[in-house]
């Protein structure tokens, strides 16, 4: 019997796989929102390609990191002390990624509330970003989310094959949802502001996690789900008024 057959002969490992797939899909939501917002700023003919490259890079980075799982675990060891807080490489990466998300979300929100005629993120017919710049930013955030994803996986199971299956399943779900999510955002431009608020909140959460303040993910996603439900009611209300 092969090692993989032995692993999956244990029902507990099937439960671990189901839990890990669910967790990886949930963690992938952050990544997917960022990719959808960013690619919608590209010319329409480049959006699908950019989404495919972005999600493909997310899968590639996760699989590469999984192959280096022994090294990834060492990223949790403290390397410097900042303001009395010991920081590991993982913490530094999370803080840097969080700062980038906060900056990006704040910048885009500012463009939408500025009356000075700045770039309008809601106008998806207008080119707001170069293809290369979009891919570069997606790769940066893919790296941050990938490291967080793999360290989460390591904390949930010790079996690398289970991690590989969970990561591939989660990225496949991202690939399936990317197109519909981007089209939904394009048809409902006000959702962009809500998504940017989500990215800002996620960025602040990453910074807090980097400095050792654990924020339960359940609270974050419950708040996102509640806000999304309220916005869904607003969309339904607007459509009914428009029909009337």
> For position 120, what pLDDT does the model report?
46
Q: Is 80 left (phi over 0), alpha (psi -120 to 50) or beta?
A: beta
Cβ count within 10 A of residue 6: 11
Q: What is the pLDDT of residues 30-57, one digit of tens each?
A: 788 888 888 888 888 888 888 888 888 8
Count Cα neighbours of 24 within 13 Å in the Cβ-side half-sphere. Answer: 32
pTM, two decimals, is 0.69
**Are 3 and 152 contacting, i.e. CB atoms less than 8 angstroms apart?**
no
More confident residue, 38 or 120: 38
226 membership: H or E segment, kind and range: helix 217-243
């Amino acid at each position: 019997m092969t090692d993989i057959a032995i692993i999956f002969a244990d029902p507990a490992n099937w439960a671990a796989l189901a839990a890990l797939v669910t967790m990886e899909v949930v963690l992938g939501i952050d990544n997917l929102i960022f990719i959808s917002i960013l690619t919608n700023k590209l010319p329409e003919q480049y959006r699908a390609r950019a989404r495919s490259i972005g999600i493909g890079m997310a899968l590639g980075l996760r699989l590469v990191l999984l192959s280096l799982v022994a090294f990834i675990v060492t990223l949790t060891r403290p390397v410097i002390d900042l303001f009395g807080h010991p920081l590991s490489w993982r913490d530094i990466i999370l803080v840097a990624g969080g700062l980038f998300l906060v900056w990006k979300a704040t910048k885009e929100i500012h463009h939408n509330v500025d009356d000075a005629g700045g770039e309008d993120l809601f106008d998806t017919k207008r080119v707001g970003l170069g293809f290369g710049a979009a891919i570069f930013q997606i790769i940066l955030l893919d790296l941050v989310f990938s490291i967080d994803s793999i360290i989460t996986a390591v904390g949930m199971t010790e079996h690398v094959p289970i991690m590989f299956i969970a990561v591939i399943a989660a990225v496949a779900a991202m690939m399936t949802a990317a197109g519909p999510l981007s089209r939904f955002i394009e048809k409902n431009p006000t959702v962009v502001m809500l998504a940017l608020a989500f990215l800002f909140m996620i960025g602040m959460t990453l910074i807090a996690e980097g400095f050792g303040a654990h924020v339960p993910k359940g609270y974050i996603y419950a708040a996102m789900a509640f806000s999304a439900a309220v916005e869904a009611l607003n969309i339904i209300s607007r459509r009914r008024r428009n029909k009337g």
